[in-house]
Structure 1
Amino acid sequence: MLKILSAALLTFCTCTVATGQDLLQKYVKDNAVRIAAPSPTNSDYSDLNAIGEAIADARVVMLGEADHSDGTTLALKSRVVKYLHDKKGFNVLLFENDFYSLNQGWDSLSKDRNSIKTFFYSNLYPMWSKTEECADLLYDYLPETFKGNGPPLKISGFDNQLNGSYARNSLKKKLHQYLSDQSIDLNSSAFLSYLSVTDSLMNTRFKDEGQFNNHLNINRTNFKFFSHLSDDLLSRLGVSHSTDYCYQLINSLKGLAEQRLHHQKNKYVSGGIRDAQMAQNLAWLLQHKYAKEKVIVWAANYHIIKNKTELVSSGFLRRQPNMSTALFNQLPGLQKQTFILTTVSSEFPDDKRNYPKLSNGFDTWVQPDIAFGFINIKAFQNLNPAYNQSFPMKTLGHSDLVGKWTQGMDGILYIKVNRKAKTSAL
């Protein structure tokens, strides 16, 4: 009898999952909207109107990428950014990049093409600044927006990691000037040591993990000291200064020191610290610097998916909240004003890793003649609010991962064949 009941229960559960997947599968087949292939010369955005309608009056659009090396994704995201700026009034583009260099450096920059290109080549991650797929957006479209024909597209960054040459050349001077203006004693040996430690926090190219770990071991005491003194500085400044850019910069640097301290012990904790700090930096930008602006967030799918720790039953996704989770916890009302648009692809011909191709993955549900498409997941959620089935999807890298993905995003940019990004000529 027990065996019969167990078999019946298994059959019931299997049918329930299959029925749930069938529901979403039918929706995807019937409602995937065909969009044009990305092209720098195509200024007709009529095919993207479905995306605009889905975004509606959202203030923030988060644009993701499954892997930073996905060139076709970068080209498509660039086109969507141009559409959002031209047609939907989004005038700020925030990169998962250096909070210091892309704020202080960008703000002081002449906005002509050559100046922008020179600046980005040394301050924006090369996976974006030095790829052919982003060149039109960054070096043709962007400078044109500063020539007086409408609101320009402003650039900023929210990552606590310091990768820019602008930070290496001017961060210590900026901190010194700000703290001097706030009457903080700058002559103590502790403060001078604090400034010197910022050099160790700058991103440096290491040939391997062993060299990086050696760097962390040498600077462990320095990073602990830096974190404690950062707390002391923030306390002395007080919350009345929390709207100051440099107050948030000190907070961001403290997060970077904590991230480095935990890297060897637990990389997931270290990554969680980074996501939490990116969320704080992003919240500051949204609340203060760009409080009245509509904003595009350019980052990895991993950082922008919502409800991350609830999407899978086990594994690394459950270990630490990501950036969007931390952001929405900090600013609870923002989630209703945010549209999360991730990317999903079917084929990666330049990736030679032999990932198994599942016959029932999300990408197999899209009509085979659609090369580029948009799927409005938010509309599906509104039609099926109780839907919480798990299914395989290539949204965090190039392999299928099973999760309750309809709970993690509002829309999907679908790409059938995704080619690796090409390095642009200098």
Structure 2
Amino acid sequence: MKKIMYIFIISVFAIFVLNKMIYQKVPEKDTKEQLLEVERYKHPVKSISMEYRDNSDLKVFDSILKDNKVVMLGENTHYDGSTFEAKSRLIKYLHENLDYTIVLYEAGQYDTWIMNEEMNHHKLKVPADSIGGLGLFPFWWDGKESQPLIRYYQKTKTSGTPIEIGGFDIQFSGNTLAGRRGKLLKDFLIRNNINVKSFPVFSKHINELNNFIYPKHVNKILKGNQKNEFLQEITTLEQAVLRLNQNPENMMYARYFHDIKDNMIKNWKYKPGSMPSMQFRDSLMAKNLIHHIDSVYKDKKVIVWCANIHTFAERYSKDYLPLGYYIKNKYGKASYIIDFSSYAQRNETGNIYDKPGKFAIENLFHQTKTPYFFLNLRNIPENSFLKKEFVSTINQRMDMKKNWSRSFDGIFYIDTNTILTPIKK
């Protein structure tokens, strides 16, 4: 018993010393100087509403993005309602003032393509207020904060500069599409004289692909060598589609079959959320995204919508290179990464929670008493503390100490974020 107590005391002491080493208390004088620096470099933003008419507060982006091709817009978590509002206002501004006409999501390539096709042609007769569900995860369309942007996308389709929506993920993302997935695949194969019955394992389970991402489920359904047969049939289908005329639809279905296979491999092989799983997914998302930027939308300016962690331009761990690393390595200064952070959250009852640890830079940001502002880290002098290591909660609200200026180019700060407001139907 004494041995256990000694081990416990030593462990607590070690944690205390480690925290003192990593997060040493900043002297009050330094805190004041740092606050002055934040005040000096911040660009106040007047509103995050898409309906706000005075865009003078966003003119700072005119010079920042002058020679830019790709803008990555992150988010701390997928449930930050105020962040979605701010991203929506930025997208509208970038579209109307800086000629960005492509928005690509961390969502299924095929699913978002179907959503975009439905916005263009309305063949599936999906209601306008549910059309986002064809391509996007629910948190990106089924909330009051996101609906104005979905309506804006649809409005631009009848303008001279329509926004094209796409995705670069290997995952299934559209819940509204889930029940139609098998039929759309079969219809495509029939139109192109590809006999789906020649692929017995795939054809038998074509209507339950959404469930095949769960290893426990697929292990009950597929016996013996059937999992390998299933994957091989998908590869053969992809190859059959690649032999067709290379029009946009055929090329998308070929990529779709490739993504289906990769999605299954990711879920069957890796533990969800593990660094190897993240590495596998991000490396493939990078290939898809670069394909869209360089080929599909070659001469267009592109906005990328994803989580903060995927935007990071620096290695996250020994097992994980985020999507942003590949994009920054490929496009250099022609890419600009904006990540979002907040001091706290407000829930549906109005209570404030999830404040940062006392060493996080978000405390300094909060002291400015500025509801919204932007920091362009790229143009801040190298001797600034903002270009060195500091603690931030910008990664999923975890207190982390890093040289964050190596991971992204700018911070969009929202003092008090709000959780998503579901649409009540």
TM-score of the pair, normalised by structure 1: 0.79
What are the within-5 Å matches in structure 2 for residues 287-298 of structure 1?
287-298=294-305
Distance 1:404 1:227, change over 3 A: farther
Count of residues in Structure 1 that have an aligned counterpart in Structure 2: 393
**How far 1:296 sits from its partner (Å)?**
0.8
After superposing the two structures, state which structure 1 stretch, 383-392 or 366-375, moved more. 383-392
What are the within-5 Å matches in structure 2 for residues 178-189 of structure 1?
181=192, 187-188=197-198
- 1:49 counterpart residue number: 59
- What's the secondary structure of 1:415's corresponding residue? strand
Aligned counterparts of 1:275 and 1:421: Cα–Cα separation in 2:
26
Aligned counterparts of 1:49 and 1:88: Cα–Cα separation in 2:
10
Aligned counterparts of 1:407 and 1:72: Cα–Cα separation in 2:
25
What are the within-5 Å matches in structure 2 for residues 384-395 of structure 1?
389-395=388-394
Indicate conservation of the 8 Å contact 1:390/1:404, yes or no.
yes
1:138-192 CA-to-partner distances (Å, cap 9, x unmatched) read: 12x22322233x30122112221113233542456447746984x877553xx23
- What's the secondary structure of 2:145's corresponding residue? helix
Aligned counterparts of 2:273 and 2:372: Cα–Cα separation in 1:
39
Indicate conservation of the 8 Å contact 1:110/1:116, yes or no.
no
- 2:101 counterpart residue number: 91
What are the within-5 Å matches in structure 2 for residues 266-415 of structure 1?
267-309=274-316, 317-327=317-327, 332-350=329-347, 357-366=356-365, 367-380=367-380, 383=382, 389-415=388-414
What are the within-5 Å matches in structure 2 for residues 42-81 of structure 1?
42-81=52-91
Distance 1:43 1:128, change over 3 A: same
What code does the residue aligned with 1:73 have? Answer: T
RMSD: 3.8
Distance 1:122 1:179, change over 3 A: closer
Indicate conservation of the 8 Å contact 2:389/2:402, yes or no.
yes
Aligned counterparts of 2:21 and 2:133: Cα–Cα separation in 1:
57
Distance 1:257 1:368, change over 3 A: same
- Whether 2:149 is the aligned partner of 1:137: answer yes
- Whether 2:259 is the aligned partner of 1:259: answer no
Indicate conservation of the 8 Å contact 2:101/2:302, yes or no.
yes
Indicate conservation of the 8 Å contact 2:45/2:374, yes or no.
yes
- Give the gaps of 5 or more residues in structure 2: 1-19
After superposing the two structures, state which structure 1 stretch, 34-43 or 352-361, moved more. 352-361
What code does the residue aligned with 2:314 have? Answer: N
% identical aligned pairs: 22
Distance 1:197 1:26, change over 3 A: farther
**How far 1:370 sits from its partner (Å)?**
1.0
After superposing the two structures, state which structure 1 stretch, 170-179 or 17-26, moved more. 17-26
Distance 1:264 1:220, change over 3 A: farther
Indicate conservation of the 8 Å contact 2:41/2:375, yes or no.
yes
**How far 1:289 sits from its partner (Å)?**
2.0
- What's the secondary structure of 1:276's corresponding residue? helix
- 1:209 counterpart residue number: none
TM-score of the pair, normalised by structure 2: 0.79
Aligned counterparts of 1:193 and 1:20: Cα–Cα separation in 2:
65
Distance 1:130 1:58, change over 3 A: same
Aligned counterparts of 2:395 and 2:82: Cα–Cα separation in 1:
16
- What's the secondary structure of 1:38's corresponding residue? coil
- Give the gaps of 5 or more residues in structure 1: 1-10, 207-211, 310-316
After superposing the two structures, state which structure 1 stretch, 411-420 or 248-257, moved more. 248-257
After superposing the two structures, state which structure 1 stretch, 284-293 or 296-305, moved more. 284-293
